[in-house]
Amino acid sequence: MTVKRLETQQRMSKIVIHNNTIYLCGQVAEDASKGIKEQTETMLAKVDLLLEQAGSDKKHILSATIYIKSMDFFTQMNEVWDNWVPEGHAPARACVEAGMAKKELLVEISVIAAVK
């Protein structure tokens, strides 16, 4: 069984593919100075690009784990999420409040998807 790693660095790979399953490392916003909606939008745009690079798309997401700095942002983050997920293709999902690697970050996502 082959394991394919893309954009590999010392600590992690951005994408790992095994048995037609894609694992994305945690994705965060492009600009951590923005608010929760903008951070969520740019984070999900990065997910779109990585899934495309791996041969998939958001309709094939199996599971998503969202880490949010404060549940005070939950409703606003979900507004962006709900507009991003195609109708009928909601993945299994967990959302947990967590400390972030950088204090400015408000949200991070880890995704598992199937290859198209």
- Write the CATH number for 40: 3.30.1330.40
Rounded CA separation 59/87 (Å): 9
Which residues make beta-bridge pairs with 17? 4, 22
Give the number of domains in the chain.
Answer: 1
Provide the token pair at 18. Answer: 């095994």
pLDDT over 80 at 1, yes or no: no
Within 13 Å and on the Cβ side, how many CA atoms surround 78? 11
The answer as to whether 18 is a domain residue is: no
CA angle 85, 27, 80 (to 5 degrees): 35
The answer as to whether 77 is a domain residue is: yes
What is the per-residue pLDDT for 60? 98
The answer as to whether 59 is a domain residue is: yes
Cα 115 to its chain centre, rounded Å, is 16
Rounded CA separation 47/72 (Å): 23
Domain of 41 in residue numbering reads as 27-114
Cα 79 to its chain centre, rounded Å, is 15
Rounded CA separation 115/11 (Å): 24
The answer as to whether 12 is a domain residue is: no
The answer as to whether 73 is a domain residue is: yes
Q: What are phi and psi of 87, to 5 degrees?
A: -55, 135
pLDDT in tens, 31-65: 999 999 999 999 999 999 999 999 999 999 999 99
The answer as to whether 89 is a domain residue is: yes
The answer as to whether 58 is a domain residue is: yes
The answer as to whether 10 is a domain residue is: no
pLDDT in tens, 69-98: 999 999 999 999 999 999 999 999 999 999
